[in-house]
């Protein structure tokens, strides 16, 4: 009963704050240098008082249009209403950020990019930068722990649709094949071809072997829609050489790439409060596996405080949805009821912000 009352109070305060949000928040340009490129971002600050801390928004996979598109504006406003400054930027080669966008940028490099931002915020004595916090979605589930490993003083981490230790495409493919109407027999046959083809590719097998092992998969309409242009011999050999030369680690059972070596140990070493938020219809990331992983690592650490919230109607972006599928049209959808309230309540319960 107390939790219900607290959530109602949090909701009322958040609604009141949003009503006057623009009057209470000021936004400034802020850029920093990473690997010789100037990255363009925006810094949101409370208009009426000095912020008590500063949260970095760590984004997921793909290109960004943060500054021009005013991305995450509701989330940013929600933090500022709690007396927390907020910083977000466009990735290299996106928006007005210099450099070339690399869709395959490693999570380790993305973590170094965020650390460069932290260092510059601190060097320039930006208000709130003496106490840094993290909010991250999806792929940021790998990036944020690496940042915390480099900066153990990070005050909190809010993980949204976080990842386990392995690449998530196998889960995405299997879940969406079912959503797209494949029978269980068809799904299992296609997944078997996916894993067999993946093993041939990463172990140096020939293009002919790969084609033979994936005859049905390569014709499947959903596979064609998410895998992009089909491999040519030249493309297969070029990508295969790149993967082998980079010495990536793979899980022998599934053949999936392990993005962060020793990931369980890194999570277990986290000592700050963590709020993990999941959509129960997430068809991109296996949220159940991640939830279990967090409980076994962060949750087992007596120096950390782990809170988990799930939203039954939520997709990967915690938006209301019907299936959560890759092709579901979600334009105009609203965030799950209570999503921002849950963040605001957790911040207050853990004494962050005003």
**Composition of the chain by helix, strand, coil, percent to 5:** 45, 20, 40
Contacts of 137 (CB under 8 A, 6+ apart): 58, 59, 60, 160, 161, 317
**For 313-331, how does the pLDDT look when each residue is reduced to its tens digit (9 = 90+)?**
999 999 999 999 999 987 7
> What pTM, to 2 d.p., does this model score?
0.90
Q: How confident is the model at residue 9 (pLDDT cuts 50, 70, 90)?
A: very low
Q: Where are the beta strands (DSSP E) in 50-193?
A: 53-58, 84-89, 132-137, 157-160
Which residue, 228, 249, 226, is CA-closest to 172?
Answer: 226
Res. 97: pLDDT tops 60:
yes
Q: What is the DSSP secondary structure assignment for residue 155, as one 8-state letter?
A: -
Q: pLDDT digits over 162-214, tens only?
A: 999 899 999 999 999 999 999 999 999 999 999 999 999 999 999 999 999 99
SS3 324: coil
State the chain's maximal CA–CA distance in angstroms: 66
- Level-2 CATH architecture, domain 2-165+260-349: 3-Layer(aba) Sandwich (3.40)
Q: Look at residue 21 and tell me whether its pLDDT is greater than 80.
A: no
88 forms bridges with which residues in the sheet?
42
243, 249 Cβ separation under 8 angstroms: no
Q: With CA atoms as reference, report the closest residue to 280 among 320, 244, 315, 234.
A: 315
pLDDT of residue 6: 42
Q: Compute the mean pLDDT over every residue in the chain, rounded to the nearest whole number.
A: 91
DSSP E strand stretches across 192-319:
249-250, 257-258, 273-279, 305-311
Question: Domain coordinates of the chain in residue numbers?
Answer: 2-165+260-349, 169-258
pLDDT band at residue 253 using 50, 70 and 90 as cut-offs: confident
């Amino acid at each position: 009963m107390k939790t219900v009352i607290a959530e109602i109070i949090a909701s009322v305060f958040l609604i009141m704050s949003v009503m006057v949000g623009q009057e209470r928040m000021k936004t400034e340009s802020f850029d920093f240098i990473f690997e010789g490129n100037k990255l363009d971002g925006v810094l949101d600050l409370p208009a009426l008082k000095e912020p008590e801390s500063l949260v970095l928004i760590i984004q997921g996979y793909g290109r960004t249009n943060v500054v021009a598109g005013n991305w995450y504006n509701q989330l940013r406003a929600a933090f500022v209403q709690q007396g927390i400054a907020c910083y977000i930027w466009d990735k290299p080669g996106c928006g007005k950020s210099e450099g070339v966008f690399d869709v395959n940028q490693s999570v380790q490099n993305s973590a170094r990019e965020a650390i460069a931002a932290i260092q510059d915020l601190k060097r320039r004595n930006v208000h709130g930068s003496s106490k840094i916090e993290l909010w991250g979605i999806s792929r940021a589930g790998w990036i944020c722990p690496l940042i915390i490993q480099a900066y153990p003083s990070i005050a909190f981490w809010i993980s949204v649709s976080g990842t386990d230790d392995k690449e998530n495409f196998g889960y995405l493919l299997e879940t969406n094949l079912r959503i797209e109407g494949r029978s269980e027999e068809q799904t299992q046959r296609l997944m078997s071809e996916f894993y067999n083809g993946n093993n041939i590719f990463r172990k140096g097998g020939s293009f002919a072997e790969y084609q033979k092992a994936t005859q049905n998969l390569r014709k499947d309409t959903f596979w064609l829609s998410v895998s992009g242009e089909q491999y040519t011999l030249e493309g297969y050999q070029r990508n295969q050489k790149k993967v082998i030369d980079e010495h990536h680690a793979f899980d022998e059972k599934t053949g999936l790439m392990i993005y962060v070596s020793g990931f369980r140990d890194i999570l277990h070493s986290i000592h700050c409060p963590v709020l993990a938020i999941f959509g129960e219809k997430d068809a991109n990331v296996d949220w159940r596996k991640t939830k279990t992983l967090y409980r076994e690592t962060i949750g087992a650490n007596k120096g950390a405080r782990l809170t988990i919230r799930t939203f039954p109607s939520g997709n990967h972006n915690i938006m209301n949805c019907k299936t959560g599928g890759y092709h579901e049209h979600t334009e105009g959808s609203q965030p799950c009821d209570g999503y921002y309230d849950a963040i605001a309540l957790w911040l207050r319960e853990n004494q962050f912000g005003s």
